[in-house]
Every structure is written in C-alpha cells, then in structure tokens.
Structure 1
Amino acid sequence: MKSDQRNPGSGTLWLYSTGEHACSYLEDRSARTVFVDPAFPVSNAHYSRLITQGMRRSGHFIYQPGCAGCSSCKSLRIPVADFCANRAQRRCWNRNQDIRIIQRPPVFVQQHFALYRHYMSHRHPGSGMDEHDPERYMEFLVSNWSDTVFLEMRRGQDLLGVAVTDRLADGLSAVYTFFHPELARRSLGTFGILAQIEHARMNGLAYVYLGYWIAESPKMRYKATFRPHEIHTGGRWLRTP
C-alpha cells in the first residue's frame, strides 16, 4: 500500500509498506518494511540523499524499517575524520598489513563467487543465501544505478576477502563483506570496515555508513564499537561519543 511521499531532490517518489512479517533480528518481534517505489527511476544521486534520511539498499531496492511500536533499528555511520580505532581495531589493522586492498569494478568474478558461497555455507547455512546462483548473487550486491566497487583483500595472489561498498556523494556505504571463515584470527570483517574507513579518508569522504544497528541484537553490536559514530533518530543524526 502507498504510505508516504518523499522528495529526494529531483522529483517526488512514493514509499510503500509491506505487511507484517517475522523480524530477522529480534525473535519476539514482527516487522514491517517501507521501500521506495521500484518504478521510480532512482539514481545514485537520489540514493546519496535518501541514505542521509536513514534509508538503505539491498540489491536495487531502497528501504527502511517501518515497524509499528518499535524503533530498535537505527542507521549508523562513522564520521571518518574523527574516527579513533580502539585497541582491538588497531591490532586487527596491524595484523593485516600483509594484505593489499585492490579496487575492482562491480562485475561477476568466479573467484569472488566461490569465496562468497564458501563463506555463506559456513556462516549462514540454510539461510537461502548459501544457495545463491551467480545471477542472485549479483542482484544481492549490485544495482544498475549504484556506484559500487568491490574491494579485494589479497595476500600475494590469494583472495582472502571482498568488501562490497557503494560510493556516495558524502561517503561510502558498506554493502556486504565476505571472507575465508577459517581465518578468524585475522578478523577480516573488522578489517573490511577499517579498510573502507581508510578508503573514504583517502578520497576525502566524510562518512562510512554501516547500515542498521540494533542494540539488542548480538549480531549487530560490533557496529557500535567503531567510535565515534552517529545514529539516525528522530529525523536527525546524533553523535555518540
């Protein structure tokens, strides 16, 4: 059903709301999702504005939680210029200095896909994502309007991980990171975020957007360890020291 109108800077778009469904993060909750009209001709410039309003993309869909009586999902972003790594993050960065970050275009690469399937089979077995074929894999990570890059993590010729990120007007948006699950000691998920912070810093970008954070969800708590960070709440960004 139609739920709202929004002007992202060029034309008015409609927002639609789904019916209630089970929450993916809080077992005792139901959820509702608000998403941008798929027929609207979205551009990366539109998305750059909408993400500052707390929205997010998955594939070519732009969405935000719209749950009645619950506001646990908060958009979180890191102000790059002020970011200060904690001890664990500094150790992670130093431990992985033998890794090269190589920027690649958002095209299908069999080696990337094989690593993605391997990661999903270990981290998210039975989720459906571990059964993605090449087409669904690319639909999940890339859209035809986003300015997306794949940041490879390589040690020599070995591919250790890939951080998929969107380039926006004011920053980067972390889309998804996958890596060899056997390399737990390297903390490649954390390293992928640190690499995006450094990539944003080198390119003069103000923020790295980490998507939605839920304080009650153990899966999401790692995002709040990157400090300082800003939370989108009540229509504005508030900094947590």
Structure 2
Amino acid sequence: MFEGFIISRPVYFTEPSSRCGYCSAKKSRDEDYYCLDSWYRNSVVHANNSEGTLAENCTLGFQAELLSVEMYDRLCNMGYRRSGKFIYKADMLRNCCRLYTIRTQPDLVIMSKELKHTLRRFSKRVLPSDKPLHRNPKGGCHYIDEIVETETLSKSFRTCFEPSVFTEEKYRLFAKYQEHVHNDFDHSARSFKRFLCDTPFSKETVLGTKEEWEQLNNWKGFKQGDRLKRLGPAHECYYFEGNLIAMAVTDILPSGLSSVYFIWDPEYYKWSLGKLSALRELSIVSKANLKYYYMGYYLDDCPKMSYKAKYGGGLLDVSTHAYISLDQVTKLKRPGKLFAVEATSKSEAEKTHSSEFTLNDALLHAPKSISETAALKNVAEEIYGVAGGAYSEANEAAQALASLGIPYAVDELPFHPQTKEPEENEMHNIPNVVPGLVPLKEVLQMIMKDRISVLEGTVTLYDLLEGEMRRLERFEDESPEIKKILCDVVRLIGLENARGLLLLL
C-alpha cells in the first residue's frame, strides 16, 4: 500500500547536560556550553544564571524501518546519524555541544608520527619475523599499501565482514569493552542488539547475498573501476590467533563508508585499535572505489572526538547543505561554537544564504564541497544570535501557518529562564528555529503555492491507536494535528524525501 520507508512522528526531547555523552556537564566554563557568545551574554544578563547553564542535551529524530541505503545516505549528509533504528541529530543551537558531521577521503590523511607508529606496531605484532614489509629506502610507506601487505602476509590476524546480527561472541566482547573502557555495567544482550545489531534497513538489505559478502571480503584485490556490490550495514570482526579482539559497526552507502561504532578487547589497548580501524576503513574506501569516509560526529572542544581532525576532511554546514574544510572552519570560528557560512564572492556555485537559496531545494542534491580557496565568512551570529533574524522570520511564519489551521505557535527565544530542571527524555514540540531543518518560512511557501500536494496519494498514514491505515488524499482535509506532523516531517527531511513514506501516528 505504501512505496517507501516507515517513520514515526518526529520527536524532540531534552535532558540535563549532565546526561550528555560528550561533555557530561563538565566543561570548565559556562560560556563553552553556548553555541554563540551573544547567547551566553544574554543568559547571564537576563536569566541571572550564575549557578549553571541553560544549555541542555537536545535531540530530535524519528524511528525508521525499511529505509533504503540511498535515503540513509541523504540523511547522513543532512547531519543525521543512527543508533539502532533511531535516526537523530542534535539541536546545534540549544545543545550543550555542537555535533558536526565529518567526512574525509583517503588522500586527505597526513600520516603523523603517531599514526605511523600505530601501523609499525601492528605490523610487528601480526607478521612473522621473516616477513618484513617492503618499504622504500627512506623508510616511508603509503598507509594503504602497508595495511594491505601486512594483512596479506599475516597468518595470525584476519578480519571478516558479515551481517549485523547478534551472536554471543560479539556480545561478550561488547560487555568487556563497556565495563573496562566505559565503566558501564548497565548492559544486556537485548540492549546490545538494539544498539549495534538492529538497523532501519530491510531484512534483505541486512543479510545481503553470499556473492556480496565474498566480494566485500576480497576488498584488497579490487581493481580500479571495480564496483562494490554490497551496500548496507555490516559488522567487520577482527580476529587475532582465532580470538575476536575488535568489531567495527559500519554502513556501506553509495557515497562511501560510514563508521557507526567500534568496540575492542581492553587486553589489546596497546594496539591502538581505534586508530588502526580508521586507517583500515580509509583503505577500504580507497581500494573499493568508494568516495568518502564518514567518521560520525566531530566536536572540536571534546578531546575524545576532536582526534578525528587528524584524518583531514571537512565539516557539514547544515544551514547551507555544504561541506567546509577543517582548515577553513578553524579560521571561521572558535572551538565549540556554531558556524554558518556565506560566500563573499557571488559565483553561482557558492551562493549561500542568498535570496535564491532554499534549504529544501538544496536537500534534493548531494551537498556541495566549498572550494578551499573560496572567500567565506561566518554569519551564525547574524542568523542565529540574539539579534539574528531567524527567530522573527520563523515566528511570523508560525503565525501565518496557525491562521491556515496548522497549530504552530510563537516560540520563546532559546535559553529562556527555566522554572524547573529538565527531566530526562522530556518531550517537546520542535522549536521554530533549528539549524539544518527546513525553515518554517519555506514550509509556509510550500503550502501557499500548493507544493505540499506532492505528498498526496503517495504518503500513507497509520493510526497506531485505531489500527487504521489510509492514503493521504488531500492535505487540506486533514486534521490540524496531522497537518502539523506532516509539516514537521518535511522540516526534518525535506519535501521530496517525504514522498512515498508510511507515517506512524
């Protein structure tokens, strides 16, 4: 009855910053929790906030089923990640930490002494003493060639790509990792399965075919131009002398390989397996003729996440749907702060935040990569700061939508004084202004120009309480609540991406 994937109604929830998995509310200065300096100054002056911060851990997203790898590829390039079947991203404006999507390419890696040492130690441990690597006279060796040669010669180390399904062996490794590395004893086989085995993809995509797995596991033998047949989630298991010592959870997408999570046996901590896994996955991207390596989120003020800068690449500006090189971003903002770029040149290829630009239309295409020579400025304060224009524009659109029977309301500005402490997983309406979501002004224009009608006849609605499923026939005839839910879906993923889905109400 429906053509696409299944999603729940979008959710937005907050919890205290002490629950943030990155900062745990332990930043040294209150100002470091805020996305922009103006909001920190405003919070101090108007909220009398001398005993803490108004920034919280703020997340939005939805549960998904039967998601295609192509759709998830697009979502990754909108700033989303997945945890099991939950597709999410942080509110970059209100969250206590700025979580930027980072992607890189194999040839952007500059091999530091630390990374070279990691490879040398790995080779020494897994190669027989009579099988030295063939390095050039100066002692240099391209990391991809070194990894391929080491693993080809090794008799004690091997890896194997396989479907992302539960096994007791994988869970034992996960338990050992959580307890010794993260001091987390609150886990179970069920939580492990939900976190690292469950996926939003179809069963057929998860299991794949024997031919796909055989070809993937022969990635070292790929020739230039060979096309990878396997797309979808995978567990790559690392074995040393027959024992499972690490597991990489990955998603292989049309545009590249996405790293989801990595676990390792604490007894092998001296191997620097995390660094090794990144170099290996970059090698796989290169040999398998993929384009990008998605490393998850980058936080430049969080030591356990800022290390990703060592591998080069760029960060996603969710406001303009464009990747900016790490070097450029460093010049545009201070660590931990928000950025939104505007090109100072007027070339057609670099229009950002201009009158012609609409985020919804940009989401129809792969994100741009802004040239490293482009002249850019950071306009985040102008758009999202205390005096920024995004809030009045969004609230005007919210009032206009309300007059059309779609129950949006005027929002309070971010970081307003709280009358109570946020509760864990407290649910809220999605704020009118969230960087990276289709602006309410664009949603209003879609309705005024009847562009929203492209959803009619393609979207299926399923009422969980009533157990009823039906097609969306006419947007105008729906209840105010359903209209708002549909508009929120469009805000999160774009109008065209919402076509053909089944929406759980």
Amino acid at match of 1:46: M
Structure 2 residue aligned with 1:216: 301
Moved more, 50-59 or 101-110: 101-110
Pairing of 1:52-91 with structure 2 (within 5 A)? 52-69=77-94, 72-91=98-117
- C-alpha distance after superposition, 1:103-125 (max 9, x if no partner): 12212222221111011101112
1:237 corresponds to 2:295: no
Instruction: Tell me the CA shift for residue 30 of structure 1.
Output: 1.1
List runs of 5+ in structure 2 lacking aligned partners: 26-52, 127-156, 207-231, 328-505
Structure 2 residue aligned with 1:6: none
Pairing of 1:27-46 with structure 2 (within 5 A)? 27=25, 29-36=55-62, 38=63, 41-46=66-71
- C-alpha distance after superposition, 1:206-241 (max 9, x if no partner): 111111111111221221221x21111243111125
- C-alpha distance after superposition, 1:35-56 (max 9, x if no partner): 13x2675222210111011111
- Aligned partner (choices 94, 108, 123) of residue 181 of structure 2: 123
- Aligned partner (choices 221, 230, 250) of residue 165 of structure 1: 250
- Aligned partner (choices 185, 188, 197) of residue 133 of structure 1: 188
Q: Does the 8 Å CA contact 1:154/1:160 hold for their aligned counterparts? A: yes
Structure 1 residue aligned with 2:35: none
Instruction: Tell me the CA shift for residue 154 of structure 1.
Output: 1.6
The two structures have a TM-score, normalised by structure 2, of 0.42
Instruction: Tell me the CA shift for residue 132 of structure 1.
Output: 2.4
Secondary structure of the structure 1 residue equivalent to 2:267:
coil
Q: Does the 8 Å CA contact 2:159/2:236 hold for their aligned counterparts? A: yes
Task: Please identify which structure carries the higher strand content.
Answer: 1
Amino acid at match of 1:162: M
Instruction: Tell me the CA shift for residue 82 of structure 1.
Output: 3.1
Q: 1:21 to 1:45 in 2, by over 3 A?
A: farther
Q: Does the 8 Å CA contact 1:32/1:68 hold for their aligned counterparts? A: no
Q: 1:154 to 1:40 in 2, by over 3 A?
A: closer
Moved more, 111-120 or 61-70: 61-70
Structure 1 residue aligned with 2:282: 197
Amino acid at match of 1:134: A
Q: 1:177 to 1:39 in 2, by over 3 A?
A: closer
- Aligned partner (choices 22, 25, 38) of residue 22 of structure 2: 25
Distance in 2 separating the partners of 1:115 and 1:109: 10
Amino acid at match of 2:70: A
Q: Does the 8 Å CA contact 1:172/1:205 hold for their aligned counterparts? A: yes
Distance in 1 separating the partners of 2:65 and 2:264: 34
Amino acid at match of 1:62: I
Pairing of 1:136-151 with structure 2 (within 5 A)? 136-142=191-197, 143-145=199-201, 147-151=232-236
Amino acid at match of 1:139: R
Instruction: Tell me the CA shift for residue 149 of structure 1.
Output: 1.1
User: Percent same amino acid at aligned positions?
Assistant: 26
Secondary structure of the structure 1 residue equivalent to 2:293:
strand
Amino acid at match of 2:268: L
Q: Does the 8 Å CA contact 2:285/2:291 hold for their aligned counterparts? A: yes
Distance in 1 separating the partners of 2:73 and 2:194: 20
Secondary structure of the structure 2 residue equivalent to 1:232:
strand
Q: Does the 8 Å CA contact 2:65/2:200 hold for their aligned counterparts? A: no
1:105 corresponds to 2:130: no
Instruction: Tell me the CA shift for residue 68 of structure 1.
Output: 3.2
Amino acid at match of 1:189: G
Moved more, 171-180 or 39-48: 39-48
Distance in 2 separating the partners of 1:21 and 1:95: 42
- C-alpha distance after superposition, 1:116-157 (max 9, x if no partner): 10111011124xxx4322222121013140621111222221
Greater C-alpha radius of gyration: 2
Structure 1 residue aligned with 2:420: none
Secondary structure of the structure 2 residue equivalent to 1:24:
coil
Instruction: Tell me the CA shift for residue 16 of structure 1.
Output: 3.3
Q: 1:161 to 1:240 in 2, by over 3 A?
A: same
Q: Does the 8 Å CA contact 2:238/2:247 hold for their aligned counterparts? A: yes
Distance in 2 separating the partners of 1:96 and 1:44: 33
List runs of 5+ in structure 1 lacking aligned partners: 1-9
Amino acid at match of 1:56: R
Distance in 1 separating the partners of 2:291 and 2:120: 23
Q: 1:185 to 1:203 in 2, by over 3 A?
A: same
Q: Does the 8 Å CA contact 1:19/1:32 hold for their aligned counterparts? A: yes
- C-alpha distance after superposition, 1:187-207 (max 9, x if no partner): 011111111111121211111
Moved more, 173-182 or 87-96: 87-96
Distance in 1 separating the partners of 2:122 and 2:116: 10
Q: 1:12 to 1:114 in 2, by over 3 A?
A: closer
Task: Please identify which structure carries the higher helix content.
Answer: 2
Secondary structure of the structure 2 residue equivalent to 1:132:
coil
Moved more, 203-212 or 68-77: 68-77
Give the CA RMSD over aligned residues.
Answer: 2.3
